[in-house]
Amino acid sequence: MRSLLKFLAAFAVAFALMIFVRATGFTIYTIGGEALEPELMSGDRVLVNRWSYGLRTGGGGSLFSYGRVCRQRVKPGDLVAFEDPRDSLSGSVLICRCKAVPGDTVVHGGHTIVVPGVDDCADADYYWMQALNPQTDSLDSRLLGLISEQLIIGRVCKVVFSHPSDSSLFAGWRSERLMMPL
């Protein structure tokens, strides 16, 4: 009985650590579609660093107001994971490259857009995100508009492994993409 309790306690601690790391440290997402080719391929599992722009606190449906611990700015050129602004409660995550930061000017569809942002007000910061492959009809700022900093999860830092979803378990592995830095 005592060994069972030790096992359950160790399991509970390991589970709690896993949940903590996933919520505050790193998360793995699967790339679907061709909007990020040639850099990211459909079936890539990418590692997202949740601390890269500061840990998000509150916001959304939370009791606490939005904020970031150890806040860092998103830089143009970063591959960024963010919640789908159309329905952030669905848990849908999009990945795009940051093309413009607060204060930059973007020309889109014949219109000039100035990306708004105020250094002292975190909830007024917006970013222009764009797919790597602009020929695709992907969900990015061209369709979604400016992306609020509140929706940004973190920076994509590497491809952990790659396996197309239409391949069998034992075929289709892309060994050259294993732990590939971005």
Range of the domain at 130: 2-181
- The per-residue pLDDT string of the chain (182 residues; one tens digit each, 9 = 90 and over) reads 788 888 888 888 888 887 776 667 788 888 888 888 888 888 899 999 988 998 877 765 556 777 787 888 899 999 999 988 887 667 788 999 999 988 888 888 777 888 876 655 444 588 999 988 767 777 888 889 899 888 899 999 999 988 877 776 677 788 888 888 88
Spatial contact of 67 and 122, defined as CB atoms under 8 Å apart? yes
Provide the pLDDT for residue 122. 47
Instruction: Give me the CATH number covering residue 44.
Output: 2.10.109.10
* Nearest residue to 76 via CA among 54, 56, 96: 96
Say how many domains are in the chain: 1
> 92-120 pLDDT, tens per residue?
889 999 999 888 888 887 778 888 766 55
State how far the Cα of 76 lies from the Cα of 99, in Å rounded to an integer.
5
